[in-house]
A and B are shown apart, each in its own frame.
Chain A
Amino acid sequence: MLIRRPSDFPSSEITGETLYQNRRAWLGAAGVTLAGLALPARARAWGAAVQGDDKLTPYNVVTTYNNYYEFGTGKDEPGQNAGGLKTKPWMVTVEGDVKRKGSIYLDDLLKGIPVVDRTYRMRCVEAWSMVIPWNGIMLGDLIRKLEPGTKAKYVEFTTLLDPKQMPGQESGVLDWPYVEALRIDEAMHPLALLTTGVYGKPLPNQNGAPIRLTVPWKYGFKGGKSIVRIRFLETQPRTTWNIAAPQEYGFFGNVNPTVSHPRWSQKTERRLGELFKRPTLMFNGYADQVARLYTGLDLKANF
């Protein structure tokens, strides 16, 4: 069941034809609304122009606008505070129902697994988004290499706990260390990555160096950073934001415009660099690839 041939998704496919057409339709509708309310034509044209395609978010934005509370809760704080994090050598511990247990250097862990380039939309639960060219490995490739047992139903990722290097961990804003997890079939999905780089460069510390989880159809908080432990579990583990506010952040964290966050709508998002919000797409636009993972699951209850 776990073994599925990895199919590759070229960047061109990430922004599918459907998205393009939906956006046209939406822009038309928005234009009508705006015209009705007599917003100056120039502003409308401006809005349409910046509403453009899934253009790459510039490197300096990707690396200066980060949610990484281990280095502070401000968006600019990780960029300012993460410089001192020592990411080499880096040990990762593999635990649970898996054949290749134990602590291993990251370089050895990844040895022999092909590196892929993937451009993904990244949608934060706070209703902003980016488009980021990642480099990394398919998580499924690593999992196959580690050979999980039949009782491994979930994969859990734990971030480094080291308040000396991560000043944000001195505060009690979240339960440290940061823990995230996926169901094993989600983890095996060819879109799920462990990323080690961005824009063809090694991952900057503020983006989760040396290795982080990137799951493009889920809200950004699912992407645990600076991972030191991978655990294969039979039961669903508790995850950090779910512990912090269970009514606001579910285990799945799938991008879903039809399920509002209790305090704000998830229907739209602001793509960084654009002025107006754009509609949020089901599974962040990856429904064609991932919807089958959730057949029969009530996505409202399992948000």
Chain B
Amino acid sequence: MTDGQVVRRILKPLLWIGCLAPAAWLVRGIVEGDLGADPIKTLTHTTGLSALTILLVTLGVTPVRRLLSRPSLVLLRRPLGLFAWFYAVVHFLIYAVFDHQLSVPEISEDVAKHPWVLVGFSALLLLTALAVTSPAAAIRRLGARRWNRLHRLVYVAAILVILHFLWLVKRDLTEPIRYGSILAVLLLARAVPALVRSRAAGRATAGAN
């Protein structure tokens, strides 16, 4: 099998299974009434954590692809990103429906008044912009360069999500710090090669993205 075939026939199905697993677990929990003492909190936390985890995996695609010299891994990036967005949307909907009964004035007030809600909401808006511009047609329309620049916002979104997590925790910061460290590593994995490339670009014309 070629690399492309491995990605399409093996990795992509695995990606779908992995990304749908949290949703399946939650649906099972709802059906069996087995989501703990505060089911809404379980739903909110699980969808939020799933969004963050998948977002971090999405950010890992490019460094891994370069490290292993397997360009076709890029095919995993869009579905991963869209799954991250999907969980973020569900996360927000659960909050909107069960915490605020879909009351727009109440939600607006909460977003405006509480920094961690604002930060999370901003991340959702950014991810939504990226999701909307993810089809190939959008890339064509925007042009590769502009599209790339726009989609660098994913790093901003990830940082906002970590901030959202750090800010909402009452006292024990262990978990958000764990996720934040992974993000830091991923950011460095992008920043360091980029720096090296920009140095090199001083000597030669930059080619690959």
Closest B residue to A31 using CB positions: B101
Q: Are A265 and B36 in contact (CB under 8 A)?
A: no
User: Which residue, of B98, B110, B168, has the highest number of chain A Cβ atoms within 10 A?
Assistant: B98
Q: Are B101 and A65 in contact (CB-based, < 8 A)? A: no
Q: Is the CB of B168 within 8 A of A277?
A: no
Whether the Cβ atoms of B40 and A270 lie closer than 8 Å is yes
Residue among B110, B167, B171 having the largest count of chain A Cβ atoms under 10 Å: B171
| Residues from chain B with Cβ under 8 Å of A65 in the complex | 36-38
Let me know if A272 and B38 touch, CB within 8 A: yes
Instruction: Decide: A276 and B101 in contact? CB cutoff 8 A.
Output: yes
Residues of B142-174 contacting chain A, CB below 8 A: 167-168, 170-172
Does A174 belong to the interface (CB within 8 Å)?
yes
Query: A2 at the A/B interface (Cβ < 8 Å)?
Result: no
Question: Is the beta-carbon distance between A37 and B110 smaller than 8 angstroms?
Answer: no
A48 to B202, CA, bound (A): 67
In the complex, are the beta carbons of B101 and A33 less than 8 A apart? yes
Stretch with Cβ within 8 A of A (4 or more), from B56-64, B112-120, B128-136: B112-120
User: When each residue 100-131 of chain A gets 1 if its CB lies under 8 Å from chain B and 0 otherwise, what string results?
Assistant: 00000000000000000000000000101000
Q: Do B38 and A264 touch (CB < 8 A)?
A: no
| B102 interface hit (Cβ, 8 Å) | yes
Chain A neighbourhood of B37, CB < 8 A:
61, 64-65, 75, 272-273
In the complex, which residues of chain B have a beta carbon less than 8 angstroms from the beta carbon of A33?
101-103
Roughly how many angstroms separate A283 CA and B97 CA in the complex, as a whole number? Answer: 27
Residues 245-291 of A contacting B (Cβ, < 8 Å): 245, 260, 263-265, 268, 270, 272-273, 275-277
Whether the pair A128, B102 counts as a contact (CB closer than 8 A) is: no
B3 at the interface (CB under 8 A from A): no
Q: Are B98 and A263 in contact (CB under 8 A)?
A: no
Q: Are B98 and A265 in contact (CB under 8 A)?
A: no
B101 touches A173 (CB 8 A): no
Per the bound structure, the CA–CA distance linking A34 and B168 in Å amounts to: 27
A14 located at the interface, meaning its Cβ lies under 8 Å from any Cβ of chain B in the complex: no
With contact pairs A263-B114, A272-B37 given, residues A244 and B171 touching in the complex (Cβ less than 8 Å): yes
Q: SS class of chain B's interface: helix, strand, loop or mixed? A: helix
A19 within 8 A of partner (CB): no
B34 at the interface (CB under 8 A from A): no
Q: CA A73 – CA B175 in complex, angstroms?
A: 11
Q: How far is the CB of B109 from chain A (nearest CB, A)?
A: 8
Task: Tell me the minimal C-beta distance from B68 to chain A in angstroms.
Answer: 37
Contact, CB under 8 Å: A264 / B102? no
Check: A30 CB closer than 8 A to any chain B CB: yes
User: Which A residues are CB-close (under 8 A) to B167?
Assistant: 263
Are A73 and B102 interface neighbours, CB within 8 A? no
How far is it, in angstroms, between the C-alpha of A69 and the C-alpha of B40 when the chains are bound? 22
A273 proximity list for chain B (CB < 8 A): 37
**C-beta contact mask, B89-126 vs A, less than 8 Å → 1, else 0?**
00000000111111110000010011110000000000
List B contacts of A272 (CB < 8 A): 37-38
Q: Which residues from A are CB-within-8-Å of B103?
A: 33, 37
Closest chain A residue to B170 by CB distance?
A: A126
Distance between Cα atoms of A64 and B36 in the complex (Å): 9
Roughly how many angstroms separate A37 CA and B39 CA in the complex, as a whole number?
24
Report chain B residues within 8 Å CB of A146: none
Provide the bound-state CA to CA distance between A173 and B167, in Å: 16
Chain A residue with minimal CB distance to B39? A275
Known pairs A37-B102, A277-B98; A174 contacts B40 (CB<8 A) = no
Contact A276 B38 (CB under 8 A): no
Q: Is A39 an interface residue (CB 8 A)?
A: yes
Q: Which of B40, B104, B114, B115 contacts A265 (CB 8 A)?
A: B114
CB-defined contacts of A47 to chain B, threshold 8 Å: 101
CB–CB A277/B99 < 8 A:
yes
Bitwise interface map of B from 59 to 83 toward A, beta carbon under 8 Å scored 1, else 0: 0000000000000000000000000
A128 touches B38 (CB 8 A): yes
Residues of B within 8 A of A (CB): 36-41, 97-104, 110, 113-116, 167-168, 170-172
Q: List 17 A-B contacts (CB under 8 A).
A: A33-B102, A33-B103, A34-B102, A37-B103, A39-B97, A39-B101, A73-B172, A75-B38, A126-B170, A171-B172, A174-B171, A264-B114, A264-B168, A265-B110, A268-B99, A270-B38, A277-B101
Q: What are the 3 A-B residue pairs with the smallest beta carbon separation, nearest first?
A: A65-B37, A73-B172, A61-B37
Additional pairs, 8, CB under 8 Å, beyond known A263-B114, A264-B168: A47-B101, A65-B37, A75-B36, A171-B172, A270-B41, A270-B98, A275-B39, A277-B101
Interface residues of A (CB under 8 A from B): 30, 33-34, 37, 39, 47, 61, 64-65, 69, 73, 75-76, 126, 128, 171, 173-174, 244-245, 260, 263-265, 268, 270, 272-273, 275-277
